[in-house]
Amino acid sequence: MKIKFICFSILLFILNSCKLKQEKSDSPNFILFLTDDQSWSGTSVQMSPDHPSSQSFYYETPNLKKLSERGMVFSRGYSASPVCSPSRYSIQFGKTAARLKIIRVGMNTSHIDHNQPNTIPKVLKDINPEYKTAHFGKWGIDADPSILGYDFHDGKNGNKEGGFNNDNSQWKISFSEDPKNIFSLTGKAINFIEKQKENNKPFFLQLSHYALHTNLISKKSTYEKYLTKKKYSETDHPGFAAMNEDLDQGLGLILNKIEELDLSENTYIIYTADNGSVPTIPARKFYKKSINYPLSRGKWDAMEGGIRVPFIIAGPGIEPESINNVPVSGYDLLPTIIDIIDPNYKFNNQIDGGSIKEILFSNQIKSIKRETNGLIFHVPYENKIALERAHSSIIRDNFKLIKFRDNGEINLFNLNSDISELNNLIDSFPNIGKELETTLENYLKNVKSIKWRDGINWKNIDINEVNSFY
């Protein structure tokens, strides 16, 4: 009897091991396609059924259109910040820029623990050590990608590696057969995907393109096409459009490779941007109409044009050609990816993002469980090319509140009826305004975020020496 029990126990162990192995091998793949400075309204995809102008008829992105038809478009998808580095940090750590205390490009980040356990690759490997992870392209984080858990990467790259001059030449048109490294980066990504397919390993790949950040570089043939194309807006720009289409060709190569390798049924593709487009080309402080129209303003400001971005996810279990209007953010990606793999996983420290898995798989208007009820944006400095006013904002459901730090001015907008943020409703809905302001201020205090101080731009200085916190 004892021998039978031992044999049964061994058999049960073997069966469970086989089951576990099967579950591990079936772990889905994830590809995060992150673009730079891309307009919500600057693609072939109509991002919102309520706003025909959320689709461009000048810029052509047929492969993004194909991806949207395979999955879900979030008409209210947001970057975590109106500038790149804070958004990139937020994606990796699942935290707001305010909590991380990184609120602009060019900051001293010695206060950030880059070794913390909650990053996308580290958590994936904690759940399943078989995962292989890679990052190629613009990094924008002050630590080697390997420190955050990436097995393969091409370095701590910034804008210069993608072809950027911080002078007036950035607005001049130039040509290359590999504009903004679009196709060489795509080649690296494809090689990585093929290798993981060959080795039967699940993978996470973040492909962070330098496009559409200036300089304006495209293939000459693409540019010439737009020289003769009809313009639909005074903001339509042939150089910008050509770079946009070249970028889309890179996406198409990835989509084709996933199909060729028969990975579609086990791969999620996430497409989003680090922030909205520059409002004009060349950049100007004052203008009548933004490239991001119907959204207001653009990159650098926490107005809709600076933070509302393309946000599309396709993969198994997601209804094709679906659209959802729930506000989601880049810092929701970490908990969402992990929830898809292991809904019982407990993070080692606090994150701000919430999982959108239930929305993806049901396409219902559901609230997202986050530590704070709302999306938080924090810009506590004056940017001379932008509004030049320190401000913070919070979005909850249909309402968005913006608080300016110089004089305490409050703006309240109903984004359902006023996507361009033209009508301040604070006098009509004072209670909603007070509630949102209280939530915003309490959050900034709870995370001890950076506090605006007149004359401080937070560039290349130790924030602890300035010692201006909530």
Nearest alpha carbon to residue 91 among 378, 337, 340, 357:
337
> Which of 328, 362, 396 is the C-terminal boundary of a domain?
362
Neighbours of 198 (CB within 10 A): 9
| Residue 67: half-sphere exposure toward Cβ, Cα within 13 Å | 34
At residue 463, φ and ψ (nearest 5 deg) are -65, -25
What does the pLDDT profile of the chain (470 residues) look like in tens digits? 444 444 444 444 443 443 343 344 479 999 999 999 999 999 999 999 999 999 999 999 999 999 999 999 999 999 999 999 999 999 999 999 999 999 999 999 999 999 999 999 999 999 999 999 999 999 999 999 999 999 999 999 999 999 999 999 999 999 999 999 999 999 999 999 999 999 999 999 999 999 999 999 999 999 999 999 999 999 999 999 999 999 999 999 999 999 999 999 999 999 999 999 999 999 999 999 999 999 999 999 999 999 999 999 999 999 999 999 999 999 999 999 999 999 999 998 899 999 999 999 998 877 899 999 999 999 999 999 999 999 999 999 999 999 999 999 999 999 999 999 999 999 999 999 999 999 999 999 999 999 999 999 999 999 999 999 99
> Which stretches of 261-319 are DSSP H helices?
304-307
432 and 343 both lie in a single domain = no
Instruction: Give yes or no for a contact between 64 and 248, defined as CB atoms under 8 angstroms apart.
Output: yes
Residue 2 domain-assigned? Answer: no
Would the pTM of this model clear 0.85, i.e. be above it?
yes
Does a structural domain hold residue 11?
no
Q: Are 184 and 190 in contact (CB under 8 A)?
A: no
Domain count, the chain: 2
Task: Answer yes or no: is 63 within a domain.
Answer: yes
Q: What number of CA atoms fall less than 13 Å from residue 305's CA on the CB side? A: 23
Please tell me whether residues 357 and 390 are part of one structural domain.
no
333 and 205 co-located in one domain: yes
Query: Among 314, 335, 362, which residue terminates a domain?
Result: 362
CATH number (domain holding residue 50):
3.40.720.10
Specify whether 306 is located in the same domain as 426. Answer: no
Q: Find out whether 88 and 114 touch, Cβ atoms under 8 Å.
A: no
With H, G, I as helix, E, B as strand and everything else as coil, classify residue 29.
strand
Structural domain boundaries enclosing 409? 375-466
